[in-house]
Amino acid sequence: MSPLNRRTLIVGGIAGGVTAAGLTVASAGVAPPLSYPFKLGVASGEPWADGFVLWTRLAPHPLDADGLGGMSNTTVPVDWQVSTNQSFTGIVASGTFTATQAWAHSVHVEVSGLTAGTWYYYRFRAAGHISPVGRTRTAPAVGTSPAMTMLFTSCSHYESGYFTAYRRMAEETPDVILHLGDYIYEGKAGSGVRSHSPAVEISSLADYRVRHAQYKTDPDLQAAHHIAPWITVWDDHEVENNYAGLTRADSSPAGDFAARRTAAYKAYYEHMPLRAAQAPSGANLQLYRRLRWGSLATFHMLDTRQYRDDQACGDGTKLCPAADDPQRTITGAAQESWLLNGLNQKLGTWDLIGQQVFFAQKLAAADGSKSMDSWDGYTANRTRIQNGWDAQGNDSVVVLTGDVHRSWAANIMHDYAAQDRIIGTELITTSVTSSGDGNAAENALDPALNPHVKFYKNLRGYVRTVTSAGQMNVDFRFVDKVTVRDRPVTTAQSYVIHAGNPGLQAS
């Protein structure tokens, strides 16, 4: 990432003037001078054909226990610039965002009016300090289908290892990165290679802010944010392990779970490059959304936590006929019809469903035991969605999944018991760090139980996809260790998926 380091940017200077208000405040001594406030790096996200979101958060002291990052209760003007080059001699958009303590001095700028399918560079300035430079891009125009390199991953537990996978992802210079949840973990400090802050299990807004800030200080994570726009959805650990809607999964820590979820959702918004449409509203946050990547692909980003029924039969992995109750939902009725409607429109060649938990059926034992936290615990909801897209003749659906800390690949079947007809493809990324180093030799595939499940690997890493109008090339990428810094990445398995012919093919 050396081309984008801070020195480059300082040499290049900032072309726009600092706002008069900013200079006046600093020189008059009304507020003490701010020490370097960009310790959380910068990020971009939500690429549209004419713009994107730019993010940063002012936090000169990221781990302060009050969650305010060392900022006082004053508003701070933050200048931002977008340029066609990294020397900032081609500025095409600029402005000033007013950061406030109510939002932890986070910055969310929605830039519009830019050229489709184009790379840009961006930076911020506050109180005389200049941020690192980020690289980002707009989505291609509808009507065009240039090839897209998309990386996706999930489950980045800070204590379990170093975020080397993020560093290797940055080095791939992708067009876009998806994070499918468990971006932070809520647990107290444990016994990994490094320790959580704060040391307690987080439950207050201040705690969630500190935890997010701690993760954002990681240089490998920052590198991945600095290289490309991200599209993120949460899973459970951004709030609490295996929660369901407003139902907590356990009693630790005690307290009002709705208040806890509200705090967690607000902190998530404050730390992610999301649009104002995703700002929290009361106890809720509208996270499911669609993004178009020209006429090549449509991202349908799901939220399978906020609206789900409680896990059946007390959660866990078990034989549970109640999981098949047609009333049960993991999406909620509104999101289900929104998704089916979007899939039926076939807005682009590929429909990519970015979501959290294992989608295809996966039997854990011959008696029919399955994971109640996954779509196997909500089978009628799954059947309505997958057979819904199939009935509409949508033959280019790929489900992208996280959560399980292992990589898997599966064909989505019209009827799993009969192994009748492949109607889609599921790619499951492993974790960035969660579950630690793993075991390259472990094999959990059981073709007798799950003939449609084709690949398994228990190592840390991510999935790389290179998609064109004709095919998607898939590489499962792994680092051999995360308890040791800076390991190389290698491809353990590749597949091709052909547009119009669902299922995994040998590459």
Contacting positions for Fe ion (CB under 5 A) = 155, 182, 434
Q: What does 83 bind: Fe ion, Ca ion, none (CB cut-off 5 to 8 Å by kind)?
A: none
Please report how close the Cβ of residue 300 comes to Fe ion at its closest, in angstroms. 21
In the bound state with Ca ion, the residue whose beta carbon lies nearer, of 236 and 336, is 236
Residues with Cβ < 8 Å from 63, sequence gap 6 or more?
197, 210, 213, 214
Q: Helix axis angle, 205-216 relative to 219-227, nearest 10°?
A: 80
Q: Does 403 bind Ca ion (CB under 5 A)?
A: yes
In the bound state with Fe ion, the residue whose beta carbon lies nearer, of 49 and 463, is 463
Please report how close the Cβ of residue 498 comes to Ca ion at its closest, in angstroms. 31
In the bound state with Fe ion, the residue whose beta carbon lies nearer, of 182 and 186, is 182
In the bound state with Ca ion, the residue whose beta carbon lies nearer, of 333 and 444, is 444
Q: Among all chains, which residue has been given the structure tokens 């020189």?
A: 27
Region from 84-92, 190-198, 281-289, 398-406 binding Ca ion, contact rule CB under 5 A = 398-406
Q: Is 288 helix (H, G, I), strand (E, B) or coil?
A: coil
Q: What does 351 bind: Fe ion, Ca ion, none (CB cut-off 5 to 8 Å by kind)?
A: none
Cβ count within 10 A of residue 171:
13
Q: What does 207 bind: Fe ion, Ca ion, none (CB cut-off 5 to 8 Å by kind)?
A: none
In angstroms, the CA 101 to CA 98 distance is 10
Question: Residue 90: what are its φ and ψ, rounded to 5°?
Answer: -130, 60
Using CB under 5 A as the binding criterion, the count of chain residues that bind Ca ion stands at: 4
In the bound state with Fe ion, the residue whose beta carbon lies nearer, of 175 and 403, is 403
Q: Helix axis angle, 257-271 relative to 205-216, nearest 10°?
A: 30
In the bound state with Ca ion, the residue whose beta carbon lies nearer, of 235 and 270, is 235
Question: Residue 281: what are its φ and ψ, rounded to 5°?
Answer: -130, 105
Q: What does 434 bind: Ca ion, Fe ion, none (CB cut-off 5 to 8 Å by kind)?
A: Fe ion
Region from 107-115, 136-144, 226-234, 397-405 binding Ca ion, contact rule CB under 5 A = 397-405
Q: What does 236 bind: Fe ion, Ca ion, none (CB cut-off 5 to 8 Å by kind)?
A: Ca ion
Q: Among all chains, which residue has been given the structure tokens 């109750």?
A: 325
Q: Does 315 bind Ca ion (CB under 5 A)?
A: no
End-to-end CA distance of the chain: 31
Q: Does 172 bind Ca ion (CB under 5 A)?
A: no
Q: What does 71 bind: Ca ion, Fe ion, none (CB cut-off 5 to 8 Å by kind)?
A: none
Residue among 451, 52, 49 at smallest CA distance from 273 = 52
Specify burial of residue 96 (Cβ count, 10 A radius: 0-12, 13-18, 19+): middle
In the bound state with Fe ion, the residue whose beta carbon lies nearer, of 304 and 434, is 434
Please report how close the Cβ of residue 204 comes to Ca ion at its closest, in angstroms. 22
Is residue 52 a contact partner of residue 44, using CB atoms and an 8 Å limit? yes
In angstroms, the CA 168 to CA 83 distance is 26
Is residue 475 a contact partner of residue 461, using CB atoms and an 8 Å limit? no
Return the DSSP state at 24: H
Instruction: Name which of residues 226 to 245 contact Ca ion (CB under 5 A).
Output: 235-236
Is residue 503 a contact partner of residue 491, using CB atoms and an 8 Å limit? no
In the bound state with Ca ion, the residue whose beta carbon lies nearer, of 235 and 351, is 235
Q: What does 262 bind: Fe ion, Ca ion, none (CB cut-off 5 to 8 Å by kind)?
A: none
Region from 248-256, 262-270, 326-334, 401-409 binding Ca ion, contact rule CB under 5 A = 401-409
Residue 439 CA: distances (Å) to CA of 45, 161, 401: 33, 15, 21
Q: Does 475 bind Ca ion (CB under 5 A)?
A: no
**Interaction site with Ca ion (CB under 5 A):** 182, 235-236, 403
